[in-house]
Structure 1
């Protein structure tokens, strides 16, 4: 038996009788029944079982099994309803990276793969594997997946040496081709390597749908190739688009590159049946540019990990925590928070022992320009990067979580926003973006978006005072289940079903 965290509860029916009213229930005789769980069974988190479960079954997260589940079945719904695994539909997910490698864009398809089986879709994953010799190799984001899926994650080894070899062996004709098809050389040659590896997978397995999730163009081009060749519906998932960075300055060469990719994106989406993206800005932009219907599937949070925890209470400073990188201060800038606290401490309104800002995995040198002129610096601490598995605990230790907006970029709803919401700690977003992030924080009562020093100073004094007298909320009361990755995957699976129904009609 295999299980996600929180083992399934195997209960017995009729453990106690309750027919007599003059005898306590726990003293009345029952009729205990034993149940059998077959080999190679996968239980999702938080299941309860009061029936036999056959061999090779998959029980979705949170299911209550009250009727026997036949061999080789998938059970979903509450109470659990089983269907043959042979009836489960297969989807090929094409993505640029996949955990445990913690590159940008890999977590989103991993969470879809984790939960799709709960909704009748069996995922196969086709992705790149960075070799250990590659400086980009990084396996610090383990995601627990059912063992039954692990052989369905196909990783194609492709290194920097392979990229360089491709560039050095191109002919003039290849270079001309790559100019018009920029995804062939970005990353260099990867498209062809993955295509060669994946052809046998397509031929040897029955797929119902292809899902290309895209920070890069090659995933979409490869998905479009297979969709056309094997008459399969294609859904494109745009996690990133070039238009999100229009607020940043671009060189002529970069602008030309953007135009080339925009043309290829337009061409390769002509046969896409549906487009998925991550924010209202992305949705509006893609619908306008591509003239196609789009839906939003938020990055969300994994509710199995990111949830409120009742940790031991210890008196200490008011802790504000930020976990992650800061690429540069023009990009994510906590300046107004530093200034506000420095002024409050200098004025004697609060003391150094009242507050602590902690950065995990953030390089201090990125913020030195902001810190060096502060009169008080002791309230800022930097820590080494922590593993992804440890992040939820660390977030729960904070009184408030710091969210830094992506200045100069549009529609960036970072996964951090949703993971913060999952642990239900108040969010401090600085500066406010006056757009979608502010609206989500306001509408779902997730915390505060503040853009000026004076307002922030007033709120900091208010929060610290309430914390010192024990009235600052440990967790927010908002309902954030809508943003869970499982719920977002449920919405995605319905889109899959709708597209497949239209395809087969």
Structure 2
């Protein structure tokens, strides 16, 4: 069985979407002929002074503490002096420390020290570095240079989704950051066996800076999260939106449609739940920043009695809430080409009808059509019309029929995505 080292900053029990991609590799690689070892930190758990090694039937997890360096203290001091701090950040970018925060630099050096002095890297057949952060790409490149070990770079995102925004007009600082990032990514990609990323438009973007071949391995849903779940009838017609809201989403289209629906059905047993939407951060108008003042902006259109808006909740609760819902809401990023957003895959896994607002004319719209897992509404009138139809259907039958194509949906399970990358690794 081939051995693969997976370098990932994020891993369970840290409950973020990045951890679930890492966990999928750990959980499923053995089924396809690879023994996985994840090299990570103590994210989401109590930090330990030393290295810990966890083994089970799926593979091995090695956790390395992030050692605080003297450099971190100096950089923190520099942060109190605006001009010096700007010069310091630019210097770090030029030197390839694109994750310029001091603790991220310490993360890099902690992992590098472990790989070069304690871990027998030569026992592995290949290395996978998962972005973000940037320094995993750098470390894979360094390991290849020293040990001649093949490596693959796995990009969950681009360095900033703003670069694919239809109206992207970079500031002077963003131009510098983009140029330096392209320079370093091109170098770190140059010796990679191949790279993977989560959508075809993003693959095409990266292939502009490298001759290394790219492949698409999307995110997916964990089948185990959606097994042994039974349909539960509810006395509320519920719509769920899972996760953060962003400034560039067409939220108002949906809210206006709901407002019109409630005018038509003033006594409706109706609830919209925005789970994890209350970030209370991000300046208003920022293209891909979190929606500012989400509670106030939502309540401008929908009375409080019909809305629930929460701060971040565990994924287990989100899954349970989806099973009680009739519709799951996907607000698209129509100005950003190729952005799936991880929630759409959990929506597929839940086998709940997806209401997409509006069509992104990109990857998610194509996904909805291919899987027949939902409907697309481009205007408030279309939202209202669909809600009226669905509500009457729910009143009559107690549920909304689901028409998703199972043979297409299952292709987006985490297991299927790991099978795909395993097939690519077997070609090396």
2:126 matched to 1:238?
no
**From 152, 158, 164, the counterpart of 2:66:** 158
**CA distance, structure 2, for counterparts of residue 270 and residue 174 of structure 1:** 25
**CA distance, structure 2, for counterparts of residue 242 and residue 184 of structure 1:** 10
2:135 matched to 1:218?
yes
CA shift in 2, pair 1:495/1:345, >3 Å: same
**CA distance, structure 2, for counterparts of residue 220 and residue 96 of structure 1:** 12
Q: Which residue of 2 aligns with 1:494?
A: 423
CA shift in 2, pair 1:132/1:189, >3 Å: same
Q: Which residue of 2 aligns with 1:255?
A: 175
Q: How far off its partner does 1:419 sit?
A: 0.9
**From 284, 289, 295, the counterpart of 2:215:** 295
Q: Deviation per CA, 1:385-414: give whole Å up to 9, x if none.
A: 432233322211110101122354332212
Residues 131 and 159 in structure 1, CA contact (< 8 A), matched pair in contact too:
no
Q: Deviation per CA, 1:421-479: give whole Å up to 9, x if none.
A: 01110111122212111111011101012221111111111111111111753543411
**CA distance, structure 2, for counterparts of residue 375 and residue 174 of structure 1:** 44
Determine which structure has more spread, i.e. the larger CA radius of gyration. Answer: 1
Q: Which residue of 1 aligns with 2:187?
A: 267
Q: How far off its partner does 1:221 sit?
A: 0.8
Q: How far off its partner does 1:334 sit?
A: 2.4
Q: How far off its partner does 1:377 sit?
A: 3.7
CA shift in 2, pair 1:407/1:146, >3 Å: farther
Residues 93 and 211 in structure 1, CA contact (< 8 A), matched pair in contact too:
yes
**CA distance, structure 2, for counterparts of residue 149 and residue 199 of structure 1:** 25
Q: How far off its partner does 1:233 sit?
A: 1.0
Which sections of structure 1, spanning at least 5 residues, go unmatched?
1-87, 135-144, 500-505
Q: TM-score, normalised by structure 2?
A: 0.83
Relative contact order higher in (CA < 8 Å, ≥ 6 apart): 2
Q: Which residue of 2 aligns with 1:111?
A: 24
Residues 334 and 359 in structure 2, CA contact (< 8 A), matched pair in contact too:
no
How big is the alpha-carbon RMSD for the aligned residues of Structure 1 and Structure 2?
A: 3.0
Q: Which residue of 2 aligns with 1:437?
A: 364
**From 226, 235, 239, the counterpart of 1:306:** 226
Which sections of structure 2, spanning at least 5 residues, go unmatched?
48-53, 79-83, 281-292
**CA distance, structure 1, for counterparts of residue 118 and residue 69 of structure 2:** 25
Q: TM-score, normalised by structure 1?
A: 0.71
Q: Deviation per CA, 1:255-297: give whole Å up to 9, x if none.
A: 2112111100001111111111100111111223323321111
CA shift in 2, pair 1:95/1:204, >3 Å: closer
Q: Which residue of 2 aligns with 1:322?
A: 241
**From 306, 311, 321, the counterpart of 1:379:** 306
SS in structure 1 opposite 2:128? strand
**CA distance, structure 1, for counterparts of residue 157 and residue 137 of structure 2:** 13
